[in-house]
Amino acid sequence: MAKDYPRSNQIGQQIKKEIAEILQYEIQHPTLANVTITDLELSKDLRHAKIYFISKQDQIELEKALKRSMSFIRQSLAKRMTTRGIPNLEFIYDHSIDHNDRITELLNSAFKK
């Protein structure tokens, strides 16, 4: 039986996997060494991708390094993908992890009292 996943979901998962591998194995930038891709939102027309990431590094420095490496990431992604075009990439720091950590801290401090 065929899966009920739209094509954009399948392509989005492939892009997420490929970008994670590019950041881990191909980019030689020390700031980008420990970046983790948490999520990817791909538009229905496959032209725009929002890539959510986390890292222990400084958020501002990470965003600058990602912007400087954007053309290399797109070129590497184009070599790995079989799709006709590569979406415009936008890297966004994922604040949900920090938010969850803060909630956990507050709950722990409330229960200690």
Helical H segments across 1-113, by residue range: 7-21, 59-68, 70-80, 96-112
| Residue range of the domain that includes 68 | 7-112
CATH of the domain at 91: 3.30.300.20
pTM: predicted TM-score of the whole model, two decimal places: 0.79
> Does residue 1 sit within a domain?
no
The pLDDT value given to residue 113:
64
CA angle 31, 15, 11 (to 5 degrees): 165
8-state DSSP, 4: -
| pLDDT tens digits along 52-80 | 998 888 888 888 999 999 999 999 999 99
Closest CA to 84 of 11, 21, 16: 11
> Does residue 94 sit within a domain?
yes
Report the number of distinct structural domains present in the chain.
1
% pLDDT > 90, the chain: 46
